[in-house]
C-alpha cells in the first residue's frame, strides 16, 4: 500500500494524534477506575483496552487504505448483514444489565449496535447521494425513513434507547446536508415528538424508571437514582483541579457504579477536576472541528454525507455521555468515545475516524 | 454549504456541557464536596473511661472494667449452624435468641453486630481462639462501670443510665451524645462532669459497603477525673451491714473537718444492675418498689420526726437564753397538762424532780415540755435553725432535702392554722411538725462534739490531684457554759447506769450521745441514736436512724456500738 503524494498531503495528522491522546487519557482513567479490583496485568481492563486500541488501529489502517467510495458501494450489503446480526442478538444475545446487546465470540463480547451507527451512515449516504438534486420532493422521504426505522426499532427493543435515539439526529443532519427541505424535516420532527407518548409504552420498566429518575433522582436514591447521584457527587466534588489521579474517593471507594464504561467521565471529573474535563472536551471539540473542515473541503456529496454523519455521531455521543454524568440528560447507555472501556465501541469509533481521515485525504480526487 | 449551519447547534451543545460542568464543579462544588465526605468518612466514637472513685485509703471503689462482647460480621460468617451450636453450649441462651440476633446482624452485614454482651474473660479468650475456625466471629472490648463493692455504698456512688432526650438537648454543648451514660444519683451524678471525661473518636474511610478502608485520624479520648473520697470503705461496710434487712440510715463523720467516713442508707441496691442489659427486670423491680424505696438515700433525702434527739437543741436554747440554769428543776410525775390536753412522759410514774443534765440522761419529756413552754415557739424555731434544721447541710450529693423547722409563719402558710401551745409542747420533744434528715441530726450532734462549731459535711477530698478545700467550720454562737452543760448530759446518756443510750458504750472510749424514739403517724416509732467520741477531743460523730425501728435506746444504740468498735479497731478512736 503506497499512498500517492496527494493522499499524504491531505492526511489529517492532527486528527489522528488527538485520537491517540484521547485513547491514552482513557487508559490512564481506566487504570484509576479499575485498579481497586486488583487484577493481574494481563487480565486487567487496561491490558484488554490496550489490545482493543491496537486492534482498532489496525482496522483504521485498513480503512484508510481502501477508498471510502468502496465502502459506500458495499454499504447495502454491510447494512443487511448488520441488521441480521441485530436480529440474532435479540434471539441469542447474552443478557447484561437487563439488555441484550452482546454476542459472545470467544472472549469477545461483540455488540452489533455499535456498528449499525456506521453502517447506517454509509447506507444513508449512499441513498441520499444517489438521489442528489431530487430530495426536495417530500416523497423522497419514504425509503430513507425505512432505512432509519429498521435499525431504530431493532436497537430500541434490545433495549438500547440511547443508540436508537442517536440515529435520529444523524438522520436529520445528513438529510439536511443532502438537500432535503428544512420545512419537511421540521414536519418530521413534529410528527416524531407527537408520537413520543406512544413510544413510552414500548419502553421497558427500567428505561421508564431511568427517565423518571432523570426528572428527579431522589425518587429512588438507592436504586435507579443512585448512579446519577453518586456521579454528580463525584464530578461536583472534583472542583476546579480535582482530587488527583487515583485519589478520587467516589471512584476508589466504589461509590460509582459502571465507572469504567459509561461513567468514566465521572472519574475524570472527580480526579482531574474542571480543568481536566475542559481539556478533554476541547480535544473532542477539535475532532468535531477537523471533521467539519473535512466536510467543507470535500466536494463529493457521498463523502460529505458520510463525514457529516460521523461528526454528528461522535460529537453527540460526547455531549450526551457527559451531560448524563452531571444529570443534564437521562441515563442512556452511551459510552464516551475512545475513553470508555469496550471493544465494540473502540473498534466502531476508530473505523469512523478512519473513514473521516479517508474522506479527508481523498477529497480532491473526485 | 448547509454544513456551515450545522456547526452552530453542535457548538451550542458543547457550550451547554461546559456550562453544566462549571455549575457542577464550581458553583455546587462545596455541596458535592460535603456529600462526598459524608459518603466516605465515618466517625467511630471511642468512649472515654470514667474516672475511678477511691476511698480515703486509696482503695478503688468504683472503676471501669473491660467487658468482652461477642459480635458477628454477618458477611464473613460461613458456618452459621456451627456458631449457633457453639453459642448454645457456651452461654445457655435459647436458640431463638441467637437466631434473632443473627437476623439483626444480617441487616448490617459488614459491621460487627453484638450478639452476646459482657461474657466471662475465660470464655472470651476461648472464643478468641475459636474465631480462627469460625470466620465472622469477633470479640470486642468496651469499658463498663464496675461497682467493686456491689451494694456497699450504693447511695454514695449512685448509678449510671443512658442519657434521655431532654438531657441530651440541654447537655449537647458539653459534649454529651445519644446513648451516653450519665450519673443518675450520688457522686456519679454530682460529679458527672468531672468523672465523664471527653470521648474520642476514630475517623475512618469507608467504601460503598461501609467497610473500613483506612484510618484517617484519631482523637484520643480524655479519661474522666478520679475522685478521692473521705469514705473509709471498712467503716462503710460495717454501717451497711448493720443496716442489713432494715430500713434506715447511718452516717459517720469526722466532726473536726466534716469528712464523711461512712454514709449508708437501707435498703440498698447493687448499682451494677443498671449497667448490665440482662438485669432490666431487676432494675424495674428496684424502681417500682413503692413499699421500701430502695433508691431513696434516707441519710440525706428522707425526712422524719427526730424525737428526743432534738432535746439537744431545746436544752441548748434554754441554757443559752438563760430561761433555765443548771439549778432549774422540774418535777415529772409522768404527765403534763394544759387545759384538757394531757401530754405523757415515756416513763409511767415519771422521773421525779430533775435538772437539765438528768433530764437529758433520762430523756424526760415532762422536763422538756416545761422548758419548751418557757422558751416559746420563736426561740425553738430560731435555735432549730442555728443547729442546721430546715435547710440543706450542703453535702456534695444530689437531691438533699431540707426538712421542716416549723414556726408560726410556717404553720400559717402551710397548714392554714394558728400555732397552738400544744404544738410548742410537741416541738420541745422533737415531735409534731418538725421533720429532719439523718444528716441534719448528725450535724446537730457535731456542734456538740465541736463544742459549738458547725462543719459542712463532704465526701470528695480531691478530684484527681486537685484538693477541694471543703473544711468549712464556723462557731454557731453558743456560750461555753451552755455547751458544757449539754455535753455533760449527753455523756451521761451513754455512761450512766440508767442513761437511755448505755447500749452504745464501748469499753475504753468516752462516748456521748442522745437517743430518740419518735412517734409518727405511719406506724411503729422511728428510732435514733446520735453521738460522738472521744468525749474530750471527738474524732467520730455519728447518727443512726431506723425507720419504724422501735426504741432509740435499743437497736440504734447497739448499732452505734458496733460502728464505734470498728472505728476503734481502725484507729479512728
Tell me how close the Cα of A88 comes to any Cα of chain B, in angstroms.
Answer: 35
Residue A129's SS3 state is helix
Q: What is the distance between the alpha carbons of residues B292 and B20, in angstroms, rounded to a whole number?
A: 73
**CATH tag for B233-278+299-569 (out of 3.40.710.10, 3.50.50.60, 3.20.20.60, 3.40.50.720):** 3.40.710.10
Furthest C-alpha separation in chain B: 139
Which contiguous run of DSSP H or E holds residue B207? none
Please report the residues numbered 4 through 63 in chain A whose beta carbons come closer than 8 angstroms to any beta carbon of chain B: none
| Cell 467503716 found at | B235
Cell numbers of B333, please?
A: 410525775
Q: What is the distance between the alpha carbons of residues B303 and A260, in angstroms, rounded to a whole number?
A: 77
Residues of chain A with pLDDT under 50: 1, 366
Q: Do B233-278+299-569 and B44-195+202-229 fall under one CATH topology? A: no
Place B167 in a pLDDT band, splitting at 50, 70 and 90.
confident
Q: What is the distance between the alpha carbons of residues B420 and B408, in angstroms, rounded to a whole number?
A: 9
CB contact under 8 A, A253 and B22: no
Cell numbers of B235, please?
A: 467503716
pLDDT digits (tens, 9 = 90+) for A225-257: 788 889 999 999 999 999 999 999 899 888 888
Q: Does A226 touch chain B (CB under 8 A)?
A: no
Cell numbers of B132, please?
A: 480462627
DSSP B148-173: TTTTTTHHHH--EEEPPHHHHHHHGG
The strand ranges marked E within B47-180 are 53-54, 60-73, 112-119, 137-147, 160-162
Tell me how close the Cα of B277 comes to any Cα of chain A, in angstroms.
Answer: 35
Q: What is the distance between the alpha carbons of residues B445 and B466, in angstroms, rounded to a whole number?
A: 30
Q: What is the distance between the alpha carbons of residues B111 and B108, in angstroms, rounded to a whole number?
A: 6
Please give the CATH superfamily to which domain B44-195+202-229 belongs.
Penicillin-binding protein 2a (Domain 2) (3.90.1310.10)
pLDDT digits (tens, 9 = 90+) for B262-320: 999 999 999 999 887 777 788 888 888 888 899 999 999 999 999 999 999 999 999 99
What's the pLDDT score for residue B452?
A: 94
Give Cα A203 distance to the centre of its chain: 21
pLDDT digits (tens, 9 = 90+) for B491-541: 999 999 989 999 999 999 999 999 999 998 888 999 999 999 999 999 999
Residue A49's SS3 state is helix
Shortest CB distance from A295 goes to which of B3, B29, B31?
A: B3
What's the pLDDT score for residue B42?
A: 78
Phi–psi pair at B517, nearest 5 degrees? -135, 105
Please report the residues numbered 53 through 112 in chain A whose beta carbons come closer than 8 angstroms to any beta carbon of chain B: none
CB contact under 8 A, B17 and A319: yes
Asked whether A19 and A283 are in contact (CB, 8 A), the reply is no
What's the pLDDT score for residue A96?
A: 58
Residues in a beta bridge with B253: B260, B541
What's the pLDDT score for residue B120?
A: 84
| Residue B401 pLDDT > 90 | yes
pTM: 0.70
Cell numbers of B106, please?
A: 444480617
CB contact under 8 A, B25 and A323: no
Radius of gyration, CA atoms only, chain B: 33
Q: What is the distance between the alpha carbons of residues B464 and B476, in angstroms, rounded to a whole number?
A: 33
What's the pLDDT score for residue B201?
A: 81
Residues from chain A contacting residue B16 (CB–CB below 8 Å): 319, 323, 328
CB contact under 8 A, B21 and A274: yes
What's the pLDDT score for residue A93?
A: 65
Residues from chain B contacting residue A182 (CB–CB below 8 Å): none
Domain map (residue ranges) of chain B: 44-195+202-229, 233-278+299-569
Alpha carbon separation from A42 to A57, A218, B60, B347 (Å, rounded): 20, 40, 64, 109
Tell me how close the Cα of A92 comes to any Cα of chain B, in angstroms.
Answer: 35
Reported for A138-145, long-range contacts at CB under 8 A and 24+ positions apart, including other chains, are A138/A181, A138/A184, A140/A180, A141/A180, A141/A184, A141/A188, A144/A171, A144/A175
Q: Where are the alpha helices (DSSP H) in chain A?
A: 5-9, 13-34, 45-65, 68-73, 75-92, 112-130, 142-156, 161-178, 182-194, 196-200, 205-215, 224-238, 249-252, 264-297, 301-325, 343-361
Shortest CB distance from B25 goes to which of A179, A274, A328?
A: A274
* Most B-contacting residue of A189, A237, A310 (CB-CB within 10 A), to test interface: A237
Q: Can you tell me the ipTM of this complex?
A: 0.94
Amino acid at each position: 500500500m503506497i499512498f500517492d503524494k496527494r493522499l499524504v498531503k491531505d492526511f489529517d495528522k492532527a486528527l489522528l494524534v488527538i485520537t491517540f491522546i484521547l485513547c491514552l487519557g482513557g487508559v490512564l482513567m481506566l487504570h484509576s477506575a479499575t485498579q481497586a479490583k486488583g487484577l493481574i496485568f494481563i487480565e486487567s481492563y487496561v491490558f484488554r483496552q490496550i489490545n482493543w486500541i491496537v486492534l482498532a488501529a489496525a482496522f483504521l489502517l485498513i480503512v484508510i487504505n481502501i477508498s471510502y467510495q468502496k465502502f459506500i458501494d458495499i454499504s447495502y450489503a454491510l447494512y443487511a448483514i448488520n441488521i441480521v446480526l441485530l436480529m440474532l442478538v435479540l434471539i441469542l444475545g447474552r443478557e447484561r444489565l437487563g439488555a441484550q446487546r452482546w454476542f459472545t465470540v470467544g472472549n469477545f463480547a461483540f455488540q452489533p449496535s455499535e456498528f449499525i451507527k456506521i453502517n447506517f451512515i454509509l447506507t444513508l449516504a449512499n441513498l441520499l447521494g444517489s438521489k442528489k438534486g431530487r430530495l426536495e420532493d417530500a416523497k423522497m422521504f419514504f425509503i430513507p425513513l425505512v432505512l432509519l426505522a429498521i435499525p431504530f426499532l431493532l436497537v430500541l427493543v434490545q433495549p438500547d434507547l440511547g443508540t436508537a435515539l442517536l440515529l435520529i439526529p444523524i438522520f436529520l443532519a445528513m438529510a439536511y446536508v443532502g438537500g432535503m427541505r428544512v420545512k419537511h424535516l421540521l414536519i418530521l420532527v413534529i410528527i416524531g415528538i407527537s408520537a413520543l407518548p406512544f413510544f413510552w409504552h414500548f419502553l421497558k420498566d427500567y428505561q421508564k424508571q431511568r427517565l423518571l429518575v432523570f426528572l428527579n433522582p431522589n425518587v429512588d436514591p438507592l436504586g435507579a437514582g443512585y448512579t446519577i447521584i453518586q456521579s454528580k457527587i463525584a464530578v461536583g466534588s472534583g472542583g476546579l483541579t480535582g482530587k488527583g489521579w487515583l485519589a478520587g474517593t467516589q471512584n476508589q471507594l466504589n461509590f460509582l457504579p459502571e465507572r469504567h464504561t459509561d461513567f468514566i467521565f465521572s472519574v475524570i471529573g472527580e480526579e482531574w477536576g474542571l480543568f481536566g474535563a475542559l481539556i478533554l472536551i476541547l480535544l473532542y471539540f477539535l475532532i468535531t472541528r477537523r471533521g467539519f473542515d473535512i466536510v467543507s473541503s470535500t466536494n463529493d456529496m457521498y463523502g460529505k454525507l458520510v463525514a457529516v454523519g460521523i461528526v454528528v455521531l461522535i460529537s453527540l455521543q460526547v455531549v450526551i455521555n457527559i451531560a448524563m454524568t452531571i444529570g443534564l440528560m437521562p441515563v442512556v447507555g452511551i459510552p464516551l468515545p475512545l475513553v470508555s472501556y469496550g471493544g465494540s465501541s473502540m473498534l466502531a469509533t476508530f473505523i469512523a475516524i478512519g473513514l473521516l481521515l479517508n474522506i479527508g485525504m481523498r477529497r480532491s480526487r473526485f | 454549504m448547509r454544513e456551515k449551519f450545522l456547526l452552530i447547534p453542535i457548538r451550542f451543545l458543547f457550550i451547554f456541557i461546559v456550562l453544566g460542568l462549571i455549575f457542577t464543579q464550581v458553583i455546587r462544588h462545596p455541596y458535592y464536596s460535603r456529600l462526598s465526605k459524608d459518603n466516605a468518612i465515618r466517625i467511630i466514637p471511642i468512649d472515654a473511661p470514667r474516672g475511678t472513685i477511691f476511698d480515703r485509703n486509696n482503695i478503688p471503689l468504683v472503676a471501669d472494667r473491660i467487658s468482652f462482647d461477642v459480635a458477628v460480621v454477618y458477611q464473613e460468617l460461613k458456618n452459621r449452624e456451627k456458631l449457633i451450636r457453639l453459642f448454645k453450649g457456651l452461654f445457655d441462651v435459647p436458640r431463638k435468641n441467637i437466631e434473632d440476633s443473627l437476623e439483626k446482624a444480617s441487616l448490617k452485614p459488614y459491621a460487627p453486630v453484638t450478639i452476646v454482651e459482657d461474657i466471662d474473660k475465660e470464655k472470651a479468650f476461648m472464643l478468641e481462639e475459636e474465631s480462627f475456625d469460625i470466620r465472622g466471629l469477633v470479640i470486642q472490648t468496651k469499658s463498663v462501670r464496675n461497682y467493686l463493692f456491689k451494694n456497699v455504698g450504693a447511695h454514695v456512688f449512685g448509678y449510671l443510665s443512658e442519657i434521655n432526650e431532654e438531657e441530651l438537648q440541654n447537655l449537647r454543648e458539653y459534649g454529651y451524645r445519644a446513648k451516653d451514660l450519665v450519673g443518675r444519683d450520688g457522686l456519679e451524678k454530682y460529679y458527672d462532669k468531672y468523672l465523664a471525661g471527653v470521648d474520642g473518636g476514630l475517623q475512618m474511610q469507608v467504601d460503598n459497603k461501609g467497610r473500613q478502608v483506612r484510618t484517617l485520624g484519631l482523637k484520643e479520648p480524655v479519661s474522666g477525673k478520679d475522685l478521692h473520697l473521705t469514705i473509709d470503705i471498712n467503716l462503710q461496710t460495717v454501717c451497711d451491714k448493720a443496716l442489713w434487712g432494715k430500713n434506715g440510715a447511718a452516717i459517720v463523720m469526722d466532726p473536726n473537718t466534716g469528712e464523711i467516713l461512712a454514709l449508708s442508707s437501707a435498703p440498698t441496691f447493687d448499682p451494677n444492675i443498671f449497667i448490665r442489659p440482662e438485669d432490666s427486670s431487676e432494675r424495674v423491680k428496684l424502681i417500682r418498689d413503692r413499699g421500701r424505696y430502695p433508691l431513696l438515700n434516707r441519710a440525706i433525702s428522707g425526712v422524719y420526726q427526730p424525737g428526743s434527739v432534738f432535746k439537744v437543741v431545746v436544752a441548748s436554747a434554754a441554757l443559752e437564753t438563760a430561761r433555765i440554769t443548771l439549778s432549774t428543776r422540774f418535777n415529772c410525775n409522768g404527765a403534763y397538762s394544759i387545759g384538757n390536753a394531757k401530754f405523757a412522759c415515756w416513763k409511767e410514774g415519771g422521773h421525779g424532780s430533775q435538772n437539765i443534765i438528768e433530764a437529758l440522761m433520762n430523756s424526760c419529756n415532762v422536763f422538756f415540755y416545761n422548758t419548751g413552754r418557757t422558751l416559746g415557739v420563736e426561740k425553738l424555731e430560731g435555735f432549730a435553725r442555728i443547729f442546721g434544721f430546715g435547710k440543706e447541710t450542703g453535702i456534695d450529693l444530689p437531691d438533699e432535702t431540707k426538712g421542716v423547722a416549723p414556726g408560726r409563719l410556717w404553720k400559717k402558710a402551710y397548714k392554714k392554722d394558728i400555732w397552738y401551745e400544744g404544738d410548742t409542747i410537741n416541738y420541745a420533744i422533737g415531735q409534731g411538725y418538725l421533720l429532719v434528715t439523718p444528716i441534719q441530726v448528725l450535724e446537730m450532734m457535731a456542734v456538740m462534739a465541736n463544742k459549738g462549731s458547725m462543719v459542712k459535711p463532704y465526701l470528695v477530698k480531691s478530684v484527681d490531684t486537685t484538693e477541694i478545700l471543703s473544711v468549712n467550720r464556723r462557731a454557731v454562737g453558743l456560750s461555753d457554759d451552755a455547751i458544757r452543760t449539754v455535753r455533760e448530759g449527753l455523756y451521761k446518756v451513754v455512761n450512766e447506769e440508767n442513761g437511755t443510750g448505755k447500749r452504745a458504750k464501748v469499753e475504753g472510749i468516752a462516748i456521748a450521745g442522745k437517743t430518740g424514739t419518735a412517734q409518727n403517724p405511719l406506724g411503729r416509732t422511728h428510732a435514733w441514736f446520735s453521738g460522738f467520741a472521744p468525749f474530750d477531743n471527738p474524732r467520730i460523730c455519728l447518727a443512726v436512724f431506723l425507720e419504724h425501728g422501735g426504741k432509740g435506746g435499743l437497736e440504734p444504740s447497739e448499732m452505734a456500738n458496733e460502728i464505734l468498735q470498728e472505728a476503734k479497731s481502725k484507729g479512728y478512736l
